[in-house]
Amino acid sequence: MGNLPHFQLFIDGVWTEGSASQVMTSQNPATGQGWATFACAAPSDVELAIAAAKRVLDDPEWRDMTQTQRGKLLYRLADLVAENAKRLGELETTDSGKLLAETSAQTGYVADYYRYYAGLADKIEGTVLPIDKPDMHVFTLREPIGVVAAIVPWNAQMFLTATKLGPALAAGCSVVLKASEIAPAPMLEFAKLIEQAGFPSGVVSVITGDAENCAIPLTRHPDVDRIAFTGGPETARHVVRNSAENFAVTSLELGGKSPILVFEDADMDGAANGLIAGNFGASGQSCVAGTRGLVHRSILGPLVERIAEKASAIRLGDPLQPETHVGPLCTAAQVRKIEETLSKARGQGATIHFGGNAADRPGNYMNPTLVECASPATETLKIEMFGPVMSLLPFDTEEEAIALANSTPYGLGSGVFTQNLARAHRVSKRVRAGICWVNTYRAISPIAPFGGFNQSGYGREAGVEAILDYTRTKTTWISTAQEPMANPFIMR
């Protein structure tokens, strides 16, 4: 183990092993073998990171930096991310199992998120109020909300970091970024770019560690003003409880069981590609995975055949190789969970058209799987799979399709495939989800808000409104009267 690459924590501009000198080994999902080690934060390290973040808010180097200057730092960071996209992508692929083609391309595109917020940094404006009192000049300013705890999972971590770090830094906040203890290597490497970009020490610290020693002390700390969390609902409940200790403003981007509605007039190739992208893309390890395919009964058989034909060409293999379409899952526990869920679905009358089992090879590989469900109660339609499993369920009417789409406690993504423009508008409006893609799926942009309804969380990332969530409004009253303020006990 001594020859493996090692990654340190980045706290207040210093690279450190952490006060407890705790080291964990990261597993390569493609081989099942340890490939790197990383330092883990103890509560005292969390304390140091938060103290630095609080201190720098009053440091003239960051506090008095103009919004335009902050934007220039973000532009520099964007350039560094783009220049290092291949290196960061290789680390993320080795650490999490996601395809290199996806991780490197996504990291390169993430640079545009930092550029977007760099451009917005000096567009944060206040307002002069037409106040209803004479001799008063009243205006509002938007000030940085303060210390931000940004918590990201292992999947899509460069993207999910940018949606938090970009607006937070543009607004003038300081950030303690907590990477998942599963596959944290790219985030710890990314910290080098923060340093190279020239952000003052303490503005951004990057740490990782387990819940007890890292996440809990971070989210309940009294000096944390804002929590931006992406992860699962169960962990989110703990985050919300912890935030009761500090009343931190909290946003949650959680999981989902996103429906993809395919109507009888849909383009069959487009619908099949959308379902494949929504379920087998990123090996199904996506919070917006379209794992509930709702298909008009009249085209279910032909669509299954079309999907099976396309899926037969999918190459399962080494995620570092360009010819691979589906790589391993991040953890062996995911494979076990999927196999258990599929076993329950079979017992409920589901038909497995292809796949349905782990691949016979080293690593955490799951064969792409298509399940035709016997009823809405089928287990694969209820459990977030986080693997390459597509579940299809027939419907007969538009009303039934909408009812099935909304029969879930989640509400993150959704898709509609139809050639009928009126239906596209009608259905997309009624599906209860924060995102609806029509005749496409999994498209993202820094310009478009991202987030869910119900148990898929609250708050939005990306878009103009996200930057405002990292500010708070101050109202200033200035008397312009020539006379001094009147005696408050003499009423006129």
Which residues are marked as active site? 253
| Helix 398-405 vs helix 421-430: crossing angle, to nearest 10 | 30
Rounded Cα–Cα distance for residues 393 and 257 (Å): 13
Residues 95 and 31: beta-carbon distance below 8 Å: no
Burial of 26 (0-12, 13-18, 19+ CB in 10 A): buried
Which residue in 67, 61, 17, 59 sits closest to 42, CA to CA? 17
Residues 195 and 223: beta-carbon distance below 8 Å: no
Residues 355 and 368: beta-carbon distance below 8 Å: yes
The gap from C-alpha 177 to its chain's centroid, in whole angstroms, comes to: 13
Rounded Cα–Cα distance for residues 249 and 438 (Å): 33
Q: Provide the β-strand partners of residue 295.
A: 262, 394
